[in-house]
């Protein structure tokens, strides 16, 4: 069989090496033709999908296990995504943080110890791009949602109008779908969670800081102590209301954040809603998809009275991590108490790296860079998959996972076939269900691509990462507020992340034979935009 590899520029000596392996011998000593091993193992199966590494037997095992589970449970599995805002890779104890960095995280540690801990799990570098990518299976540059939509932004078209969202696909497959908590992907009609496919929305549209700057005299006296400016801001600023929205457009304002303490209590209220919903849905004979998005630990953090001083650090950011961890435990406990833990796929992650510009109200990453950059510190995030009975306890994997792959995993679990997707656009997700569920599952993803706005910055392939553009802070840790985007010189900045996880020592073209192949991935990725031009929404 001839395979069509997605590799574009193999090195000449590599070609000779490959040719020498094309004839192998079987155990009887008879010559047989086999496919030569390729450095780039991914294969093009369709010109609208990201090339994937074939894992035929692994896929088959998981298909059989999922259909056995469906027969046993009498319905498709539930899905619960838990997204923490701006949590650092190094914050949870199971990732080397926890008490060592001032906030123990027993619940996340428990899920990791009893599930799968991913150590090369990637988000986009800020909130809106990640949140839109995981619900569309497409890179932000394709949908136009390339950065957070902020107060005063005027976009030229609704990016959601022609996207096919995950909740809409799941709704058609018989699922109840709900998003709880932070949205941050558009507040106007047509862009709200309950407009783009979710049956129900219960949460706040913006990030914590955008709400509390109206109230926080210590940080924003120029606004809070100036009634005229405050009234101007109220007219253009993001909503500060707790919204309860329903598919079809009904949108209730439940309450408003009127004090710092209201903000501090917001996550407890949101978790209460998710927990009540889990209890109620468990009695229905209908599978559900819940995306629970915490407000914490995005700056500015204010400790809930029950959690103030409860972290080892006794500092608001660390108290917030400790609180979020507690609530994660509560939601998983709710699944167990409702008797549906064994029929629910849970995934815990963060939408981007820590926001170092807000330090000390910021998380920890052991890597270079932070939120807003495409160095590892901005994009490598915790990723814990938990599903008793379906995921073997204590698994860890360093193979590649992009949070967009959750789109494919969730489609698969809900029984939504890829041919339900429109064929006139490119999809970047890979269905990684068998990687997450098989006992020693392999990732089907050969490379992850990193974008900043409309600019292609870098790619990771295996343990190698090639940057063609970089974001350089002009003051220590000012990755968002005082940084430059720059082209690299003649050669890509090229790092071996196993030898150099902080991306400081470029191994360059002299020391590594794979650089051209890794950089070549950027070329084949870029070619997808020639076939399917990106959407511009005026951001």
Provide DSSP, 328-371.
HHHHHHHHHHTT-GGGEEEEEEESSS--GGGTTSS---SSS--T
Output the smallest distance, CB 47 to Ca ion, in A.
33
The distance of closest approach from Cβ of residue 299 to Ca ion in the complex, given in angstroms and rounded to an integer, is 10
Smallest separation (angstroms) from Ca ion to the CB of 126: 6
Interaction between residue 352 and Ca ion (CB under 5 A): yes
Nearer CB in complex with Ca ion: 59/361? 361
SS3 content of the chain, % helix, strand, coil (to 5): 30, 20, 50
- Closer CB to Ca ion, residue 66 or residue 362? 362
Sequence-separated (6 or more) residues with CB below 8 Å from residue 418: 49, 411, 431
Q: Is 178 in the site for Ca ion (CB under 5 A)?
A: no
Looking at the Cβ atoms of 86 and 405, the one nearer to Ca ion is: 86
Output the smallest distance, CB 127 to Ca ion, in A.
4
Active-site annotation holds for 194: no
**264-274 exposure pattern, b = at least 16 Cβ within 10 A, e = fewer:** bbbbbbbbebb
| Least distance between Ca ion and beta carbon 194 (Å) | 21
Which of 59, 85, 319, 438 is close enough to bind Ca ion by CB under 5 A?
Answer: 85
How many residues does this entry show for the chain?
A: 539
Q: Which stretch binds Ca ion (CB under 5 A): 12-20, 119-127, 430-438, 519-527?
A: 119-127
Sequence-distant (6+) residues with CB within 8 A of 397 are 116, 117, 118, 119, 120, 435, 441, 443
The CA distance from 376 to 503, in Å, is 8
- One of 83, 127, 470, 519 touching Ca ion (CB under 5 A): 127
Q: Which window, 122-130, 155-163, 174-182, 476-484, contacts Ca ion (CB under 5 A)? A: 122-130
DSSP assignment letter at 101: G
Stretch that binds Ca ion, among 11-19, 90-98, 190-198, 346-354 (CB under 5 A): 346-354
Look at residue 415 and give its three-state secondary structure: coil
Stretch that binds Ca ion, among 14-22, 77-85, 211-219, 465-473 (CB under 5 A): 77-85
Taking the complex as a whole, how short is the minimal distance between the CB of residue 86 and Ca ion, in angstroms?
4
Contact 413, 76 (CB under 8 A): yes
DSSP 8-state code for residue 50: -
- Minimum Å gap between C-beta 181 and Ca ion is 12
Q: Which of 55, 110, 184, 292 is catalytic?
A: 184
Binding region for Ca ion (CB under 5 A) out of 124-132, 304-312, 422-430, 452-460:
124-132
* The one catalytic residue among 127, 273, 293, 304: 127
| Residue with smaller CB distance to Ca ion, 62 or 406 | 406
Q: How many residues bind Ca ion (CB under 5 A)?
A: 5
Question: Segment near Ca ion (CB under 5 A), from 45-53, 61-69, 81-89, 245-253?
Answer: 81-89
CB of 207 to Ca ion, least distance (A): 7
Radius of gyration of the chain (CA): 23
The reply on whether position 91 binds Ca ion by CB under 5 A is no
3-state SS, residue 87:
coil
Residue 349 contacts Ca ion per CB under 5 A:
no
Give the residue closest to Ca ion by C-beta: 127
Cis amide prior to 441 (ω within 30 degrees) = no
Please say whether the beta carbons of 436 and 116 come within 8 A: yes
Question: Contact between 270 and Ca ion (CB under 5 A)?
Answer: no
* CA 196/CA 239 separation, integer angstroms: 19
- Distances in Å between the Cα of 343 and the Cα atoms of 12, 171, 288 are 50, 18, 11
Shortest spacing between CB 123 and Ca ion, in angstroms: 8
Q: Which stretch binds Ca ion (CB under 5 A): 169-177, 267-275, 319-327, 351-359?
A: 351-359
- For 3, residues 6+ apart whose C-beta sits below 8 A from its C-beta are 35, 43
Beta bridge partners, 52, equal 43
| DSSP β-ladder status, 288-293 and 176-181 | parallel
The 469-508 site mask, x for binding Ca ion (CB under 5 A), equals ----------------------------------------
Asked if 86 is part of the footprint of Ca ion (rule: CB under 5 A), the reply reads: yes
Helix or strand run (H / E) with residue 326: helix 316-337
Active site residue 304: no
Q: Should residue 351 be labelled a site residue for Ca ion when binding is judged by CB under 5 A?
A: yes
**Residue 503 region by backbone torsions, left for phi larger than 0, else alpha for psi between -120 and 50, else beta:** left
Which CB, 86 or 267, lies closer to Ca ion?
A: 86
Give the start-end residues of each E strand in 115-250. Answer: 116-122, 176-181, 200-203, 241-246
Cα–Cα distance, 412 to 30 (Å, whole number) = 41
| CB closer to Ca ion out of 352 and 496 | 352
Q: How far apart, in whole angstroms, are the C-alpha atoms of residue 539 and residue 533?
A: 16
* 253, β-bridge pairs: 243
CB of 209 vs Ca ion, minimal distance in Å: 11
Please state, in angstroms and rounded to a whole number, the distance separating the CA atoms of residues 267 and 264. Answer: 7
Distance, in Å, from the CA atom of 496 to the CA atom of 316, rounded to the nearest integer, reads 36
So which residues are the catalytic ones?
A: 127, 184
Chain positions contacting Ca ion, by CB under 5 A: 85-86, 127, 351-352
């Amino acid at each position: 069989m001839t395979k069509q590899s997605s590799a574009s520029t193999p090195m000449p000596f590599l070609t000779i090496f490959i040719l020498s392996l094309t004839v192998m011998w079987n155990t009887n000593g008879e010559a047989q033709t086999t496919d030569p091993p390729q450095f780039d193992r991914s294969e093009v199966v369709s010109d609208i999908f990201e090339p994937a590494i074939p894992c035929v037997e692994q896929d088959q095992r998981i298909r059989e296990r999922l259909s056995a589970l469906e027969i046993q449970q009498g319905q498709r599995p539930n899905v619960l995504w838990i997204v923490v805002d701006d949590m650092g890779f190094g914050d949870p104890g199971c990732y080397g943080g926890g008490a060592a960095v001032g906030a123990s995280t027993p619940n996340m540690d428990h899920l990791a110890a009893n599930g799968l801990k991913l150590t090369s799990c990637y988000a986009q570098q800020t909130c809106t791009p990640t949140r839109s990518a995981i619900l569309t299976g497409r890179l932000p540059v394709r949908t136009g949602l390339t950065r957070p939509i902020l107060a005063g932004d005027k976009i030229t078209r609704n990016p959601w109008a022609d996207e096919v969202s995950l909740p809409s696909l799941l709704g058609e497959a018989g699922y109840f779908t709900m998003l709880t908590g932070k949205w941050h992907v558009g507040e106007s009609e047509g862009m709200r969670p309950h407009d783009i496919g979710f049956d129900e929305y219960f949460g706040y549209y913006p990030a914590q800081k955008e709400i509390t700057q109206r109230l926080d005299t210590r940080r924003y006296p120029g606004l809070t102590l100036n009634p005229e400016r405050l009234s101007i801001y109220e007219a253009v600023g993001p909503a500060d209301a707790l919204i309860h929205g329903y598919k079809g457009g009904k949108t209730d304002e439940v309450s408003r954040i009127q004090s710092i303490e209201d903000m501090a209590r917001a996550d407890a209220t949101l978790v209460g809603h998710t927990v009540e919903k889990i209890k109620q849905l468990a009695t229905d004979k209908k599978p559900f998809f819940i995306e629970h998005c915490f407000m914490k630990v995005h700056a500015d953090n204010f400790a809930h009275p029950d959690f103030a001083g409860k972290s080892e650090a006794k500092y608001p950011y660390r108290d917030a991590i400790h609180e979020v961890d507690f609530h994660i435990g509560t939601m998983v406990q709710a699944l167990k108490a409702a008797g549906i833990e064994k029929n629910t796929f849970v995934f815990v992650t963060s939408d981007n790296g820590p926001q170092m510009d807000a330090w000390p109200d910021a998380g920890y990453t052991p890597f270079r860079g932070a939120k807003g950059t495409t160095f590892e510190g901005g994009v490598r995030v915790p990723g814990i998959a938990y599903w008793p009975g379906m995921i073997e306890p204590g698994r860890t994997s360093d193979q590649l996972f992009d949070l967009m792959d959750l789109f494919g995993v969730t489609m698969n679990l809900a029984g939504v076939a890829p041919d339900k997707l429109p064929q006139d656009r490119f999809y970047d997700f890979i269905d990684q269900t068998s990687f997450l569920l098989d006992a020693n599952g392999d990732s089907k993803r050969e490379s992850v691509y990193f974008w900043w706005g409309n600019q292609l910055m870098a790619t990771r392939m295996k343990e190698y990462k090639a940057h063609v553009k970089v974001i350089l802070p002009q003051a220590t840790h000012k990755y968002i507020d005082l940084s430059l985007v720059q082209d690299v010189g003649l050669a890509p900045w090229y790092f071996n992340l196993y030898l150099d996880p902080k991306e400081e020592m470029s191994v360059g073209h002299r020391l590594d034979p794979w650089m051209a192949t890794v950089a070549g991935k950027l070329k084949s990725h870029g070619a997808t935009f020639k076939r399917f031009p990106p959407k511009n929404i005026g951001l």
